[in-house]
Every structure is written in C-alpha cells, then in structure tokens.
C-alpha cells in the first residue's frame, strides 16, 4: 500500500488542480503555425500565466495547408477554440462577416496599433477591427558585408546610387542581385512591392488604387516597373530558370552580393552563412526626402464570437497588445516584427536593422492584398506574371502597367470610372 501513496497523492493533486483550472476558465488557440509550438509552450504561455496563473492556455496548431478548411468546419460545428489565429485580409474578413469572429473595437490596448497595422483585419470601411495584429514582415535588401568591403561599396542612399553600385559589384565579378524569375512571386513580392512604395508614395498610392484615383498604368506604378526593369543586367546568368531555393543557396554560399529579401529570410539565412550580413531599405529616387517600406501585415489573433470563455479570451488579447508580448514574440521569431507602437529591442542585430526602418520610413503594405485581389483576374497573380515578364525582358514597363490595369478594370468598379 505504501508504495502507491505518492501516486495517489499525485492523482489527488491533479484532481484538485484540474477542478481549479476549470473554474478559472481555459483557452484554446487555433493556429496554422506548427513551427511555433515550442515558442508558445515554453515562452509565450508561461509569460501570460505569470500575470494570470488561473487561466489555462493550450496552443493547438493545424497543418498550414489544412488550416482554413479545418477552422471553417470547426466554426460551423461550434467546436473551434476560443482564440483564432487570423490570416490577413479576406479570409478573416469572411469569418467576421459570417459572425464567427468578435469585434474588438473596445478592447483596451487596441489604440497601440496604427491604421496600417490594422489594415488586414478591418472591414472595408474601417469601422470594425476583429483581430489583434501580431506580426508583419518587412522588405528590403540583405547583403554580404564581406563582398561589400572587398569591392569597396557602401549602402546606397538613392535609387541611382543603387544601380551604379550594382554595376561596380558586377565589374568585380560577383552576381550583384540574387533572384530568379521562374517561381514568379519573388519578382513581384521582393522586386516590385519591395522597391515600389518609394515610387507610389506608399499608402497614398495604395489607397489611390482602391479608391480608383490612380491606376497601375500611370505615375509611380509605372515608374516602379521601370525601376524593376533596370535590374535585368544585374541578375545572375540564367535567372529565368532560377528558383527561389536556388537563389537562397546562391546567396548563402557567398557567390552573390545582394538578396532582395523579406525579413523572414533572417531566420533562414542565419544558420547557413559564414559571412557578416547587413541590410538596407529600398532606396528612394534622388531628391525624395521621404522613404517608404513595405511592412506587410501577416498574422493576428482574434476571438471566437461563440466562445464560452470570452472574458478570459479578452484578457489574453489585451495582454497581446502590451510591450511584453511584442518583445517576446519578436525575439523568438527574428524577422517577424510586432505591429504595436511600442519601442522593442531585438537581440538579432539584422532584425533590429529592419525594424529601425520603421522610424525612418513610412510603412505600407503590398498594393494588391486589400480588396483588389477579390476578382478574376486576381490582381496579385497578375502582378506576379508581369513582374517576372518585366525582368525576363518579354514585357516593357508600360506594357506591364497596362496589362495589370486592364485586368483590374475588368471587374473592379472604382477603377472603371
């Protein structure tokens, strides 16, 4: 009998603890971020429990490719978790419109998020916000410091500097810009949307597209295609058949100088490179004082409108608007930046470099993601195609702008007037 006593004691302790939790409520988080399971279990949830020890939180991820379907069926069956990780834009907006996500307009702490930060999780008229923004990714250029020192070039100030610098690197025998066009999305995402905001004045141009006051075939949107076309001589030989993983390897092996990047590459490159990396923001055209960066909203957390634990869920969401959460999350996932207006210090110097740009430049998001990708043809898909064609030399910048504009005008009423 004596042998069983510790076991019985444990059982009793568990029973008491279990009933204690049940009274204080428990939360389940739905997510597609399988990779972050450890971060949530070991860092984020314990940090939350330091404030609210009685709320039991379970992070319950689904495979990314199945997340949307699984979440939808759970919501329909009223068996979904209390907190729901929000995809950006229309997928979450649909959930809100169907009444599955609760409005968070009056959540204390929401004032810490700017309009750009909220843009992916608000209704079209901006009157309701339904997810607490968690992280964004920032575009820019990651470079190989060793090559820069060897060749003797510095980070460029203007777009013209940038192009002449690429020429110097090319003359020294390195591939200046490491990117291929075969997968197409890099050409649009790390090419056009990376350098473009400087030409269309960030939010001003993006909102203009949505309101129909400017088109892809005019002004900054064509200039951005022209700026992209100037990359052609500086891409590696055979870039037309170079895939995204090819380009990543090409850069981490030290053969190429500059990688047009999204900040998520920091975590990918860090363990692979044996040289120092630096980063500079997309350089604005000469004479332009303001610089713009693509600070693209990517992930957020919302509340299941039918949850039985709304009070606890709101406490969790409120905690997510604090400095503490922002710093924890950003340091755990270098390259994914918190969206709240707190001053956050990052341990990874390269990630900190990206984050500093927010103080120097104006933030915007990718032009096609909000509203404009609802129709057929899909605006974002069109941008992939023409950006790759501009880099391949099969389409002129004017032709690219006209083609995208034609697609948008074919279904989007504000652009038809």
Partner 1 sequence: MKPTKRFPVHLVVFLAPATLVYTVFMIYPLFDSLRLSMFTPLPDRTETFAGLANYVRLFTDANWAPFLWNAIRNNFVFFAVHMLVQNPLGLLLAALLSSHVVRFRAVFRTLLFLPTVLSIVLVGFIWRLIMSPIWGISEDVLGLFGLAHLNQPWLGLEATALVTLSLISVWQWVGIPMLLFLAALVGIPDELIEAARVDGANAWQVFWGIKFPLILPTVGIVGVLTFVANFNAFDLIYTTQRALAGPNFSTDILGTFFFRTFFGAQLQPGNPTMGATVAGVMFLIILGGVLVYLFAYQRRLQRIEL
Please give the residue ranges that form the binding site for partner 1 (CB under 8 A): 180-185, 236-242, 246, 250, 373, 376-378, 380-381, 384-385, 388-389, 392, 394, 407, 410
- Min dist CB 216 to partner 1, Å, is 17
Q: Which is closer to partner 1, CB of 198 or CB of 385?
A: 385
Min dist. Cβ of residue 192 to partner 1 (A): 15
Nearer to partner 1, 21 or 411 (CB): 411
- Angle at which helix 219-229 crosses helix 203-211, to 10 degrees, equals 120
Smallest distance, partner 1 to C-beta of residue 236, A: 7
Nearer to partner 1, 137 or 388 (CB): 388
Parallel, antiparallel, or unpaired for β 292-303 and 362-364? parallel
- Is residue 43 within 8 A of residue 327, CB to CB? The reply is no
**Least Cβ distance, residue 237 to partner 1 (angstroms):** 6
Q: Which residues pair with 238 in a beta bridge?
A: none
Helix ranges (H only) for 25-106 are 37-39, 45-51, 64-76, 90-97
Residue number with CB closer to partner 1 (303 or 403): 403
Nearest-10 crossing angle of helices 379-392, 219-229: 40
Compare residues 192 and 316 and give the one whose CB is closer to partner 1.
192
Instruction: Give SS3 for 150.
Output: helix
Nearer of residues 310 and 378 to partner 1, judged by Cβ:
378
Question: What CA–CA distance (Å, rounded) separates 330 from 338?
Answer: 6
Tell me the closest approach of the beta carbon of residue 386 to partner 1, in angstroms.
Answer: 9
* Closer of 38 and 238 to partner 1 (Cβ): 238
Q: Which is nearer to partner 1, 86 or 132 (CB)?
A: 86
Token pair of 2 as six digits: 């004596």
- Half-sphere exposure for 210 (CA within 13 Å, toward CB): 18
Which stretch of DSSP H or E encloses residue 330?
Answer: helix 323-332
Q: How far apart are CA 196 and CA 198, in angstroms?
A: 5
Q: Which is nearer to partner 1, 50 or 241 (CB)?
A: 241
**Sequence-ordered list of residues with C-beta below 8 angstroms from that of 131, at least 6 positions apart, any chain:** 86, 92, 101, 104, 120, 121, 300, 301, 302
- Give CA separation, 96 vs 103, 130, 200, in Å: 8, 7, 31
Q: Closest distance between partner 1 and the C-beta of residue 103, in Å?
A: 22
Cα–Cα dist 210/414, whole Å: 7
Min dist. Cβ of residue 349 to partner 1 (A): 30
Shortest distance (Å) from residue 279 CB to partner 1: 24
CB 4 → partner 1: shortest distance, Å? 56
Q: Please give the distance of CA 78 from its chain centroid, rounded to a whole number.
A: 29
Q: Strand 256-262 to strand 26-31: parallel, antiparallel, or no bridges (unpaired)?
A: unpaired
Is residue 239 within 8 A of residue 415, CB to CB? The reply is no
Nearer to partner 1, 146 or 380 (CB): 380
Q: Would you give the DSSP letter of residue 369?
A: T
Stretch (H or E) spanning 415 = helix 413-416
Q: Write out the two tokens for 22.
A: 């049940």
User: Smallest distance, Å, CB 410 to partner 1?
Assistant: 6
């Amino acid at each position: 009998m004596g042998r069983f006593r510790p076991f019985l004691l444990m059982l009793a302790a568990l029973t008491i603890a279990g009933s204690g939790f049940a009274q204080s409520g428990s939360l389940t988080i739905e997510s597609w971020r399988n990779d972050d399971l450890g971060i949530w279990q070991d860092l984020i949830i314990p940090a939350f429990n330091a404030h609210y020890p009685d709320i039991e939180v379970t992070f319950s991820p689904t495979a990314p490719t199945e997340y949307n379907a699984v979440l939808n069926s759970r919501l329909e069956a009223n068996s979904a978790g209390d907190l729901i990780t929000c995809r950006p834009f229309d997928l979450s907006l649909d959930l809100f419109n169907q009444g599955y996500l609760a409005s968070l307009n009056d959540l204390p702490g929401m004032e810490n998020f700017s309009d750009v930060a909220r843009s992916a999780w608000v209704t079209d008229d901006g009157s309701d916000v339904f997810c607490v923004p968690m992280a964004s990714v920032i575009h820019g250029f990651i470079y190989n410091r060793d090559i820069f020192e060897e060749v003797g070039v510095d980070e460029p100030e203007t777009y013209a500097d940038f192009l002449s610098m690429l020429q110097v690197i090319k003359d020294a025998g390195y591939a200046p810009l490491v990117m291929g066009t075969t997968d197409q999305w890099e050409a649009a995402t790390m090419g056009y949307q990376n350098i473009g905001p400087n030409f269309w004045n960030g939010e001003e141009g993006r909102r203009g597209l949505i309101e129909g006051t400017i088109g892809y075939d005019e002004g900054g949107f064509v200039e951005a295609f022209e700026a992209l076309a100037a990359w052609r001589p500086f891409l590696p030989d055979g870039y037309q058949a170079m895939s995204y993983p090819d380009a990543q390897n090409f850069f981490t092996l030290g053969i190429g100088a500059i990688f047009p990047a999204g900040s998520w590459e920091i975590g990918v490159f860090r363990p692979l490179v044996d040289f120092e990396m630096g980063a500079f923001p997309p350089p604005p055209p000469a004479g332009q004082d303001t610089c713009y960066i693509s600070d693209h909203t990517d992930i957020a957390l919302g509340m299941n409108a039918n949850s039985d634990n709304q009070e606890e869920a709101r406490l969790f969401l409120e905690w997510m608007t604090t400095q503490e959460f922002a710093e924890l999350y950003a340091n755990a996932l270098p390259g994914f930046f918190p969206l709240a207006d707190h001053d956050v210090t990052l341990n990874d110097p390269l990630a900190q470099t990206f984050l500093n740009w927010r103080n120097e430049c104006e933030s915007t998001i990718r032009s096609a993601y909000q509203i404009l990708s609802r129709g057929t043809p899909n605006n974002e898909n069109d941008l992939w195609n023409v950006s790759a064609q501009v880099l391949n030399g099969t389409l002129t910048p004017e032709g690219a702008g006209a083609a995208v504009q034609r697609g948008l005008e074919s279904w989007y009423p504000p652009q038809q007037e």
